Structure 1
Amino acid sequence: MEIFQIQEKSDAIQARHRGREIAKTIGFSLVDQTVIAYTISELALKLLSISAKGHMTIRPVSLYKGDSASGIEVRLFDHFKGPNRIHLQWMEKMTDSMELSHDQMRGTMITFHKWVHAPLRIDSPICAAGEE
């Protein structure tokens, strides 16, 4: 797991770059790498625009215990102790799962997962109608 303190724009750029590298290592397509990098960047920039303190963690994850990495998990921690200030409607189509939790003592935590989807594979030969 890698931790990024998000205090200035260069921190957001570093997190985005490292997230893309991790996604590439896991086996995400170029399009998914771009979506992951964009989402990381937008979350980090939102944190910068509303808060003075926060951090982000990025790590490879697997669907099943013991399997090799098949996805990426990103967690954003907004240390603001007041009401939640981050709105995530824009993120729903970019991730496979997303969770937001907030409490007055710890602040807001946003977690998203993106999974590598296996390409469609057809094992049987493709036949025209009547050619079996």
Structure 2
Amino acid sequence: MSYKNKIKTGREKFFWTYVKGIFMACMLMLIMFVLLALLITYTSVSESIIPIAATISLLITAMINGMYVAGKRKKKGWLNGIIAGIIYMLVILFLSWVFMKEFKLSISILYKSIMALASSSIGGMIGVNLNK
């Protein structure tokens, strides 16, 4: 039996749902940052908006991640949203640690992580109800 014909088990679906959601959120975050960079480069917008825009981008992508995962799982939206948010935040923190020379865990990162978890939980509740 070829892999294409193999029926995915519940664990495989569970795993790939989260991977796709996190990948999608990371790509969306990358697109948002590129658009922000273009906006700052080619307009008179100040660089002082970067922290606010980064936080807003994080919250939006966390919510979309939660919506996608919970929508695919079709149950326990808040829980699947939080799980997706935790994994997403761990990926973001890991990438920040790898690519930023002066990365330090701080109270502001803790606050942003809590807001992102709340956002992904809300996204999970929305996502599970959109597919009914």
Tell me the TM-score normalised to structure 1 length: 0.30
Structure whose residues are more often strand by fraction: 1
Q: Of the two, which has the highest radius of gyration? A: 1
Tell me the TM-score normalised to structure 2 length: 0.30
Structure whose residues are more often helix by fraction: 2
